[in-house]
């Protein structure tokens, strides 16, 4: 870099380098330093707000069993295994059963900035259902879905299974019309 560039440009350059290193997409490169700061502030606030919802004693700690919900509610989609790893990163040396905001916040900022554990797009989800639909009929039987969800991957609890079925199951045919189900879920979310 040429020496005649002033500090501001140099900072921008540094940020751009950092940006690439963190896997930012091209559009972010044009952000000014001010906007980056504001963006960080907003990110931190968003994480804090999600954290506070579960901070029952208002002392900047949450029960470790709720961390998964917090991380997921912020738009991340880790598997249980990946969650486990994340928790290990923020847990105390001597696990107390609580996670502190001061350890959680930087970790979560990083996760969000690096766009880790992004939820998969709808069409990928559809493909997943199609893989399970061995008969290629466009639907899953209740028994099949229950079997897959409660026996494969990271099995559902009974409560989770019942909840999914309450919205996904078509009571007339006792099947899961997964295309329709997904379409509905997408609308729900928005």
Partner 1 sequence: MLLVIYGNSDKKLVGKLESVKAALLIQSWYRCYKARLELRRRQALSIFESIEYADEQDQLQLAKFFTFMLENYTQKKEENSVYQSIASIENQRLDTKTVLRMVEVPDSYEGPRLMFPLTYSDVLLLIKAFKENQILHARYVLEVLVEAKKVLKQLPNITHIMSIETKELTICGDIHGKLDDLFLIFYKNGLPSGNNRYVFNGDFVDRGKNSMEVLMVLFALFLVFPNDVYLNRGNHEDFLMNLRYGFTKEITSKYKKHSAKILHYLEEVYTWLPIGTLIDKKVLVVHGGIADDTDLEILNKLKRNKMRSVLMPPSTPSEIELRNIQFPYNFQTSSMSLDQMPKDDWDQIINILWSDPRKKKGCSPNTTRGGGCYFGPDITNHILNKFALKMIIRSHECKPEGFEICHDGKVITLFSASNYYEEGSNRGAYLKLKKDLIPRFFQYQCSQMVKSKTLHESVNIVESTAFRILGEKLIARNSELMQVFKMYDVNKTGKITFYEWGKAVGQVLEMDLPWLSLCPRLAQRTEDGYVYYKMGFKKLTAINAPKQVKSGMFQTLVRYRRDLKIIFNVIDKDKSGLISLEEFRDIWKLFCSHYGIKIDEAHVDQLANAMDLNHDGSIDFNEFLTAFDVVHRLGGEPKP
Cα–Cα dist 60/148, whole Å: 38
Note whether 115 binds partner 1 by CB under 8 A.
Answer: yes
Note whether 60 binds partner 1 by CB under 8 A.
Answer: no
Torsion sign (Cα): 166, 168, 171, 174: negative
Q: Considering the complex, state which of residue 29 and residue 185 has its C-beta at the smaller distance from partner 1.
A: 185
Query: In this structure, are residues 71 and 83 in contact, taking their beta carbons and an 8 Å threshold?
Result: yes
Q: Considering the complex, state which of residue 16 and residue 72 has its C-beta at the smaller distance from partner 1.
A: 72
Task: Tell me how far the alpha carbon of residue 190 is from its chain's centroid.
Answer: 16
How many residues of this chain bind partner 1 (CB under 8 A)?
58
Beta strand segments in the chain, E: 61-63, 98-100, 140-141, 169-170, 175-176
Note whether 59 binds partner 1 by CB under 8 A.
Answer: yes
| Residue ranges in contact with partner 1 by CB under 8 A | 23, 25, 38, 41-42, 45-46, 49-50, 52-54, 57-59, 68-73, 75-81, 115-121, 123-125, 127-129, 131-132, 148-149, 152-156, 160, 163-164, 166-167, 185, 188-189
């Amino acid at each position: 870099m040429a020496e005649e560039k002033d500090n501001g440009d140099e900072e921008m350059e540094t940020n751009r380098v950092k940006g690439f290193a963190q896997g930012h997409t091209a559009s972010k490169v044009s952000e000014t330093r001010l906007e980056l700061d504001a963006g960080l502030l907003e990110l931190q606030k968003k994480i804090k707000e999600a954290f506070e919802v579960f901070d029952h004693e208002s002392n900047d700690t949450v029960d470790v069993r709720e961390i998964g919900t917090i991380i997921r509610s912020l738009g991340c989609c880790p598997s249980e295994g990946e969650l486990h790893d994340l928790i290990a990163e923020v847990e105390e040396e001597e696990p107390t059963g609580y996670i502190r905001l001061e350890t959680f916040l930087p970790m979560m900022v990083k996760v969000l900035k690096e766009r880790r554990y992004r939820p998969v797009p709808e069409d990928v989800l559809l493909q997943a259902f199609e893989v399970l639909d061995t008969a290629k009929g466009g639907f899953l039987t209740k028994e099949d879905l229950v079997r897959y969800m409660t026996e494969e991957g990271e099995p559902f609890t009974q409560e989770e299974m019942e909840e999914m079925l309450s919205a996904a199951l078509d009571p007339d045919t006792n099947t899961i019309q997964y295309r329709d189900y997904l379409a509905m879920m997408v609308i729900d979310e928005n």
